[in-house]
């Protein structure tokens, strides 16, 4: 099988990732669990596939460095590919990205996350462990801006993952090192390119963090990602990246610029057969800013716990919201490479016990409802709001 065939197989199985290594079977990650498939792959075959993915120039750099990150489209599906060497030979880790860029609702995220993009300046951080869907949440926030307001958005990514279509906003996507040698240089350049929103793919080094904070302080809304297990850990990692003698000024800078922090994990919901993000959400309230300035990062959890009225969410509170949510959204089955993706509301599974018996008559009534009773179906595709408003006006006039 070719890499395209394996990617297509992974999509059919509902996998989020696939792993290839010399002398081992293909491994798919399905619902968070690893599953081996097929026969071991030979080293010669993997070498051929790697050269096809990278091309001649990047292949020579891979041989020198021993690793490479690229994005590609295979069979209409966009993927992020990491190539590296192991004791057995060449290995590939392929992340299968969503076929379309979705908004917050389509990603099953709480609408309170929109508060992160309501600010005109400051820093919003999307954090979480590896593979927790940070890139998807970041893309959803960008798409929310793209469909609601006219902004000049510059994204800096390594590699470039989701590809956006200009709607109300103008989006300039730059890949590191294809379009700029380093994140540091790209951030400096971006500040001369008149951005309203700057997206930093990942804050990895102290210099990138410093430049990101500077950008957030100079009148830009900056969206960035980083790895952490909690919001407090994300803030602590930002501050601890710098020498002790300047951490006080970094904390003050971070407190002044902070819009919010989201830390997320992916959980599989058995009743609806979906992996969905569970989030901890911190906003830059006066209590949060004072806690950061005083270096009391251990108190951030208490700030979130007491900040429910400000739209903050602990993991436990968010879990209760997930348990009450009934309109989960998931992609309908679709052919690879289709231009649109349909999403349908998924009813919440009926609970067991006395309450389920009490609701049985209601369920029976629902099953006998007329066939033409309304059903909510949302289609994620381009819609001209002006044309939609004009159509609604004409329908209203005809029904008078």
Indicate if the pLDDT at residue 366 is higher than 90: no
pLDDT at 149: 93
The CATH code for residues 3-96 is 3.30.450.90
Average pLDDT (207-220) is: 94
Predicted confidence at residue 96, as pLDDT, reads 87
Q: What pLDDT score was predicted for residue 355?
A: 39
Question: How does residue 350 score in pLDDT terms, banded at 50, 70 and 90?
Answer: very low
Tell me the sheet residues that pair with 274: 269
What element of type H or E holds 79?
strand 77-85
C-beta neighbour count of 247 within 10 angstroms: 16
Per DSSP, the residues of 294-313 read TT-GGGHHHHHHT-GGGT-B
Can you tell me the mean pLDDT for 328-345?
Answer: 47
Average pLDDT (170-196) is 92
CA-nearest of 195, 250, 201, 190 to 225 is 201
* Residue of 190, 193, 178, 236 whose CA lies nearest to 214: 190
pLDDT (tens digit per residue) in 129-169: 988 889 999 999 999 999 999 999 999 998 888 889 999 99
Mean pLDDT of 279-305: 95
Q: Is the pLDDT of residue 340 over 80?
A: no
SS3 352: coil
Q: For 48-52, 84-88, 250-254, 394-398, which range has the lowest pLDDT when averaged over its residues? A: 394-398
DSSP 8-state code for residue 114: G
- Residue 236: pLDDT above 70? yes
Mean pLDDT of the chain: 83
pLDDT at 83: 93
The yes-or-no verdict on residue 365 having pLDDT over 50 is no
The domain 111-324 is placed in CATH, from the list 3.40.50.300, 3.90.550.10, 3.90.950.10, 3.40.50.800, at: 3.40.50.300
User: Above 60 in pLDDT, residue 116?
Assistant: yes
Report, in angstroms and rounded to the nearest whole number, the Rg of the chain calculated over CA atoms. Answer: 23
Alpha helices, DSSP H only, in the chain? 3-13, 43-65, 115-118, 134-148, 183-190, 206-217, 231-240, 247-257, 286-293, 300-305, 315-324, 354-358, 360-367, 385-399
Tens digits of residue pLDDT in 12-27: 888 889 999 999 999 9
Per-residue model confidence (pLDDT) at position 322: 92
Q: What is the pLDDT of residue 320?
A: 93
Residue 388 in this model has a pLDDT that exceeds 60: no
**Is 0.85 topped by the overall pTM?**
no
What is the band of 382 on the pLDDT scale with cuts at 50, 70, 90? very low
Domain ranges of the chain: 3-96, 111-324, 328-399
Q: Residue 397: what pLDDT?
A: 59
Buried b vs exposed e over 201-223: b needs ≥16 C-beta within 10 Å? bbbeeeebbbbbbbbbbeebbbb
Instruction: Kindly report, residue by residue over 306-323, the tens digit of the pLDDT.
Output: 999 889 999 999 999 998
Instruction: Compute the CA torsion angle 274, 280, 284, 289 (nearest 10 deg).
Output: -160
Q: Distance between alpha carbon 258 and the CA centroid of its chain, in Å? A: 20
């Amino acid at each position: 099988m070719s890499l395209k065939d394996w990617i297509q197989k992974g999509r059919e199985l509902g996998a989020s990732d696939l792993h290839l290594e010399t002398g081992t079977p293909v491994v798919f990650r399905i619902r968070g669990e690893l599953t081996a498939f097929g026969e071991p792959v030979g080293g010669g075959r993997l070498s051929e596939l790697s050269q096809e993915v990278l091309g001649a120039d990047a292949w020579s750099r891979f041989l020198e460095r021993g690793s490479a990150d690229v994005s590609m489209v295979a069979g209409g599906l966009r993927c992020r590919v990491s190539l590296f060497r192991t004791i057995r030979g060449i290995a590939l880790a392929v992340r299968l990205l969503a076929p379309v860029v979705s908004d917050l609702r389509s990603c099953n995220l709480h609408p309170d996350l929109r508060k992160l993009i309501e600010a005109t300046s400051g820093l919003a951080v999307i954090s979480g462990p590896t593979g927790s869907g940070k890139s998807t949440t970041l893309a959803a926030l960008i798409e929310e801006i793209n469909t609601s307001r006219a902004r000049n958005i510059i994204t800096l990514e390594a590699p470039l993952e989701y590809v956006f279509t200009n709607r109300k906003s103008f989006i300039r996507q730059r890949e590191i090192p294809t379009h700029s040698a380093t994140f540091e240089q790209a951030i400096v350049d971006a500040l001369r390119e008149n951005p309203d929103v700057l997206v930093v793919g990942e804050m990895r080094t102290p210099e990138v963090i410093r430049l990101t904070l500077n950008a957030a302080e100079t009148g830009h809304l900056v969206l960035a990602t980083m790895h952490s297990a909690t919001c407090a850990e994300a803030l602590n990692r930002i501050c601890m990246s710098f020498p002790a003698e300047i951490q006080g000024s970094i904390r003050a800078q971070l407190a002044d610029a902070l819009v919010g922090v989201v830390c997320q994990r992916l959980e599989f919901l058995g009743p609806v057969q979906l992996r969905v993000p569970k989030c901890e959400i911190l906003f830059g309230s006066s209590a949060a800013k004072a806690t950061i300035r005083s270096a009391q990062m251990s108190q951030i959890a208490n700030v979130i716990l007491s900040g429910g009225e400000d739209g903050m969410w602990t993991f436990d509170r968010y879990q209760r919201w997930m348990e009450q949510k009934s309109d989960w959204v998931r992609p309908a089955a679709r052919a690879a490479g289709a231009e649109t993706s349909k999403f349908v509301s998924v009813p919440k599974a009926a609970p067991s016990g006395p309450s389920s018996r009490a609701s049985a008559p209601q369920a029976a009534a629902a099953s006998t409802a007329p066939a033409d009773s309304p059903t909510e179906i949302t289609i994620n595709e381009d819609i001209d709001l002006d044309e939609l408003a004009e159509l609604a006006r004409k329908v209203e006039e005809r029904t008078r």
